[in-house]
Every structure is written in C-alpha cells, then in structure tokens.
C-alpha cells in the first residue's frame, strides 16, 4: 500500500512527486506512456511567462509571477537549459495600446517586476525585425525560455533520486474507493493500492476523475500547431514577440528557443483528445499571422525544419462555450482524491509555485486531517547529477573530457554536436531514455537541421547495446506509435 499515488508524469505530476519526496512518504508516480512528459509537457511554446495576463483572482494569476522568479534556481539545481530573454506584446492600433495598458495594470496587481510600456522607437531599437507598423509594446523583462522536456525528465529524475517510485507503461483503467477509504487503482500492468490519489492526468484528467466521482469539470482539448526554424535564423528576434491577446488566447508568437532555433505558433482549435495532427490550413494560418509581427520571416520559409502540435487541457465548467477556466488544484468531493487538473498555460511557468502549493496547502493539510504528519526526508537533495553539454564547453575542457572518456570524442549528431558519451549518460540516469525520442528529448540528437536523418540509426544501435536488447525492439516513441525496424535486410 502506497501512501500516495500520482497519476500522470507530465510536469504537474512529476513536480508534485518531487515536492513530496521532501517528506518520508511512500509515493508512486504512474504514467501510461513509456516516458515521462510525453503529452502536453512535450509540445508547447516553452515560454516562462512574465505573468501579466491572468487575472490576480485566479490561481493562474497567483502562481505565474512567483513561478517565474523560482525558475532560475530550479533550473540551476536540475541542470536544465533556461534563458531570461524578455517578451514584447506588440500593439498595432490605439485599441491594442489600451489592451497593453490593461495588461500592464494587471501585471502590477500580480506582482510582475520589470514591466513597462515601450513606444515604437524603443521597440525597434531592441528588435529591428519587428513590423514597422506597430505603435508600441508591453515589455516584460522576466519572461524567458526553457526546454520543457529536459525540465520534466530532470524533475522526475530528481523525485526518483529522492525515493519516489516511478512506474511507466501503467495506464490507469479504473479506480475504486474501498470501504476503508483507500483506493484500488487498476492499471494495464497491475493493481496499485494507495491511501491518497493525485490526479495529474493532463487532457485526460476529467476521464480519470470520472472513474471515482461525479464529474464537476470537463477538459476541452484545443490543439496548437507550431513551426521550428533552423538555428541559422535563431536570432531574427531576441525577445518573445506576442500579438495583443484575444479571448482565444495569447495568439501567434514569434520566439527564439532556449537551444537557439526560432519558433512560431500556436493556433487554438478544439479537437478530439489525442489529436496532434498538423494540417496545411492551420500551418498556413500560423505563417500568415506570424508575418504580421515579423514580416522578414517571409524570406526564410525554406528554413523550416519541423512542425508539431500539442493539445491544451482547457477546463470548462459544464459547457464547451467558455475558455475562462482556471487551474483546479484541490481535494475533490471524493475524500482523499486530489485533482491537479485544467492545468493549461501558464502551467509550465507556474509549476514551481503551484507544485509547492499543491503539496503544502492541499495534500499535507489533507493528510493532517487524518492525523498523518510526515517527517521531513533528511536526505532530500534538490540537485541532480550535473549534465554535460559537450558542445557548450570550452576547448580545453572538451580535450580533458575526451582524454578521460574517448566516447566524448565520438560525435553522433552532427547538427547538434551530441557525443556518444552524452547519449549513454541519458540512457543510464534514473528515468533514463528507452526510445529514440526519449534520447532526443534529453540531449537533442535528431533535433537539428537533418531531423535525425543521419544520427537515428546510430542512436538505435546505442540504445540496443546499452539496454541489452535487439535493435528491432527499439521504438521511436510510444508503443502504438510504431517500431522503427521490422527486421534485417534479406531476412524479411
Ligand atoms: C499549445 C500549448 C502551448 C503552451 N505554452 C506554454 C508556455 O509557453 N508556457 C507555459 O507556462 N505553459 C504553456 N503551456 C501549458 C503547459 O504546457 C501545461 O500547463 C503543462 O505542460 C501541463 O502539464 P500536465 O502535467 O498537467 O499534463 P501532461 O504533460 O499532459 O501530463 C499528463 C500525463 O498524464 C498521463 N496520463 C493521462 N491519462 C492517464 C491514465 N489513464 N493513466 C496513466 N497516465 C495517464 C499522460 O500520459 C501524461 O504524461 C502550453 C500548452 C499548450 C498545449
């Protein structure tokens, strides 16, 4: 019997697991996928927002700005790439300028530091490629960029380092509340028993809650499509460039990425859960809107290296007509069952603050009501083992590393300069990679210009060798998303 079972190892569930590992509690983190952070946390804008959009009366407004401030230490502790770039919401009309003033006032209420309105000239001084048609912008100096997949894998790794049990490939199919008040969680692998449950199931959180209680919220899946451009034009803009927001969201942004690419997107289309298709009409829409704020992009459309989509988990009360939801972080009407749901943007940014709140203000008080006051885990260490990014090291350090381990001298991904030693490291860490995509998420082979055209076969070879299995057993991604190899040539 576990003390607490967390369903969902995206950023929400993984961070709650890490926070709970500060205490002497027996916690299991379950996910149906074969890797952590494989759903919403995998595919988003990767922006650490300043925190001026959401109203201060919502949890979104309450956690965004403090979450942003906590990011630097969290990413340092976990050795995750993070850059503070700043962001600009640009205005094209007088009406837009009024919206900026409202956002500015709201930002002040939310406690957002380094926020100011800039006029056209000042904007063009820092961003020469932003449209000449703008009349001003809201600058937010604390906005930044992160690698969400590296963040989630490291958060989960740190939770496991500190004693949490992670069970992947455990899809929850049913939950029963037993007469003694504990829960039996049926999964595709085994039954799990737990005294308390935290539901962090992302876009499926409403379906998971329905297994045990009467529904009181619904999750609407809204797909957002993106393009990634080659690093050659990664510095076309230096800040995250947003249009003025509308009731549908923050609009199509143009942004650098933490690894030096350029990103445009997303739109917001209601879809069926799990639909992450990128369709031509939506891609055209993204391009058209990105050009309004950054017309120079028009000459670089041949530098696109990838498109992808993610689905928002928008909470709605009882109809599909509003997107004015908020994070749901509370003990549900079912005693002992916590929902961490409707956790849409700015969920990534808010997580250090909202994850702390979930544990300190919701879960521990719930345990206390039952007379349980867990002791602190004296061995808790907030830091992961350092991660070596070979390409970023000075020449002398590169030479020293190669002398110690010649596998640092073997470049597997030429686009991103990823060495064999780095790939071996991410396979053997706690919460290590077992798929080609898992390796890509952790250290980037396949994320560059050729998108894995050259390095994927080498990554498959290394995975098979290090995991002690056949190359045909290695998958690109999840089980239902296909194996890469069918067999050996001439043997099929
Ligand atoms: C298009 C888009 C852009 C965004 N941009 C930003 C941004 O720039 N900045 C920002 O701060 N936030 C952004 N967000 C929001 C942020 O990405 C989310 O808040 C966050 O990733 C949600 O994490 P999660 O853990 O709740 O969900 P997920 O990452 O989806 O995790 C849920 C997990 O539950 C698992 N699961 C589901 N059902 C079951 C089951 N039955 N059994 C077992 N496991 C199950 C899934 O496999 C998954 O791993 C964006 C989101 C989207 C979609």
Q: How far is the CA of 294 from the centre of ligand 1 (A)?
A: 29
How far, in Å, are 61, 244, 289 from residue 286 at the CA level? 27, 15, 5
Nearest Cα residue to atom 25 of ligand 1: 10
Q: How far apart are CA 41 and CA 37, in angstroms?
A: 5
Structure tokens at 328: 């749901």
Ligand 1 proximity of 351 Cβ (cutoff 6 Å): no
Catalytic residue (choose from 49, 170, 259, 387):
49
Q: How far apart are CA 296 and CA 128, in angstroms?
A: 10
Q: How far apart are CA 103 and CA 382, in angstroms?
A: 35
pLDDT at 4: 98
Pocket test for ligand 1, best of 45, 197, 273, 342 (most atoms within 8 A of CB): 45
pLDDT at 350: 98
Ligand 1 proximity of 110 Cβ (cutoff 6 Å): no
Q: How far is the CA of 30 from the centre of ligand 1 (A)?
A: 15
Pocket test for ligand 1, best of 68, 347, 479, 481 (most atoms within 8 A of CB): 347
Phi, psi for residue 218 in degrees, rounded to 5: -125, 150
Pocket test for ligand 1, best of 19, 143, 245, 348 (most atoms within 8 A of CB): 348
Contacts of 106 (CB under 8 A, 6+ apart): 52, 53, 54, 55, 56, 61
* Cβ(46)–Cβ(82) below 8 Å: no
Ligand 1 proximity of 251 Cβ (cutoff 6 Å): no
pLDDT lower than 70: segments of the chain: 317-324, 480-482, 492
- Domains of the chain are 83-145+222-312 (3.30.9.10), 390-481 (1.10.10)
Ligand 1 proximity of 153 Cβ (cutoff 6 Å): no
Structure tokens at 336: 């002992």
Ligand 1 proximity of 46 Cβ (cutoff 6 Å): yes
Q: How far is the CA of 290 from the centre of ligand 1 (A)?
A: 24
pLDDT at 66: 98
Active site residue 428: no
Q: How far is the CA of 89 from the centre of ligand 1 (A)?
A: 25
Ligand 1 proximity of 192 Cβ (cutoff 6 Å): no
475: three-class secondary structure by DSSP = strand
Q: How far apart are CA 85 and CA 435, in angstroms?
A: 32
Ligand 1 proximity of 41 Cβ (cutoff 6 Å): yes
pLDDT tens-place string over residues 105-156: 999 999 999 999 999 999 999 999 999 999 999 999 999 999 999 999 999 9
* Cβ(227)–Cβ(286) below 8 Å: yes
Ligand 1 proximity of 39 Cβ (cutoff 6 Å): yes
DSSP string of 318-374, one letter each residue: SSSS------EEEE-SSTTEEEEE---TTHHHHHHHHHHHIIIIIIHHHHHHTT--P
Q: How far is the CA of 36 from the centre of ligand 1 (A)?
A: 11
**Residue from 206, 178, 213, 207 nearest 192 by CA:** 178
pLDDT at 320: 43
CA angle 150, 240, 10 (to 5 degrees): 30
Looking at the CA of residue 224, tell me the nearest atom of ligand 1. 1
Q: How far apart are CA 354 and CA 358, in angstroms?
A: 6
Ligand 1 proximity of 200 Cβ (cutoff 6 Å): yes
Q: How far is the CA of 143 from the centre of ligand 1 (A)?
A: 20
Q: How far is the CA of 18 from the centre of ligand 1 (A)?
A: 17
Ligand 1 proximity of 266 Cβ (cutoff 6 Å): yes
What is the pTM (predicted TM-score) of this model? Answer: 0.96
Helix 420-428, helix 456-467: angle, nearest 10: 50
């Amino acid at each position: 019997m576990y003390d607490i079972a967390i369903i969902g190892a995206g950023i929400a569930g993984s961070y709650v697991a890490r926070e709970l590992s500060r205490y002497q509690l027996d916690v299991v983190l379950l996910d149906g996928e074969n890797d952590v952070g494989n759903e919403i946390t995998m595919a988003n804008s990767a922006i650490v927002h300043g925190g001026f959009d959401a109203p201060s009366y919502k949890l979104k407004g309450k956690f965004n700005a403090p979450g942003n401030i906590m990011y630097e230490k969290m990413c340092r502790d976990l050795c995750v790439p993070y850059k503070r770039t700043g962001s600009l919401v640009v205005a094209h009309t007088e009406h837009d300028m009024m919206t900026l003033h409202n956002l500015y006032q709201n930002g002040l209420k939310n406690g957002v530091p380094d926020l100011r309105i800039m006029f056209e000239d000042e904007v063009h001084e820092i961003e020469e490629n932003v449209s000449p048609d703008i009349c001003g912008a809201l600058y937010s100096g604390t906005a930044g960029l992160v690698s969400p997949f590296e963040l989630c894998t490291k958060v989960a790794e740190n939770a496991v380092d500190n004693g949490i049990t992670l069970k992947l490939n455990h899809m929850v199919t049913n939950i029963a509340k037993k007469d003694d008040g504990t829960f039996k969680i049926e999964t595709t692998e085994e039954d799990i028993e737990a005294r308390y449950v935290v539901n962090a199931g992302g876009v499926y959180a409403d379906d998971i809650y329905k297994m045990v209680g009467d529904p009181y919220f619904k999750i609407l899946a809204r797909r957002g499509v993106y393009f990634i451009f080659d690093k050659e034009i990664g510095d076309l803009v230096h800040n995250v460039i947003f249009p003025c927001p509308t009731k549908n969201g923050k609009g199509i942004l143009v942004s650098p990425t933490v690894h030096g690419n350029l990103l445009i997107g997303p739109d917001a289309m209601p879809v069926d859960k799990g639909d992450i298709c990128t369709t031509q009409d939506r891609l055209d829409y993204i391009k058209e809107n990105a050009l309004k704020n950054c017309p120079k992009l028009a000459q670089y459309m041949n530098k696109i290296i990838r498109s992808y989509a993610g689905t928002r988990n928008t909470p709605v009360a009882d109809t599909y007509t509003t997107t004015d939801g908020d994070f749901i972080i509370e003990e549900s009407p079912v005693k002992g069952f916590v929902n961490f749901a409707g956790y849409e943007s700015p969920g990534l940014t808010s997580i250090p603050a909202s994850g702390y709140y979930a544990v300190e203000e919701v879960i521990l008080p719930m345990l206390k009501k039952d007379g349980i006051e867990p002791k602190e885990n004296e061995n808790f260490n907030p830091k992961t083992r350092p991660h070596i990014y070979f390409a970023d090291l000075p020449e002398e350090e590169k030479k020293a590393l190669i002398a110690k381990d010649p596998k640092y001298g073997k470049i597997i991904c030429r686009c991103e300069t990823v060495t064999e030693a780095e790939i071996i490291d991410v396979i053997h860490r706690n919460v290590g990679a077992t798929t080609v995509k898992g390796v890509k998420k952790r250290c980037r082979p396949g994320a560059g210009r050729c998108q894995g055209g050259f390095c994927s076969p080498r990554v498959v070879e290394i995975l098979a060798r290090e995991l002690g299995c056949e190359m045909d057993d290695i998958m690109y991604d999840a089980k239902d998303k296909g194996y890469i190899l069918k067999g050996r040539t001439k043997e099929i």
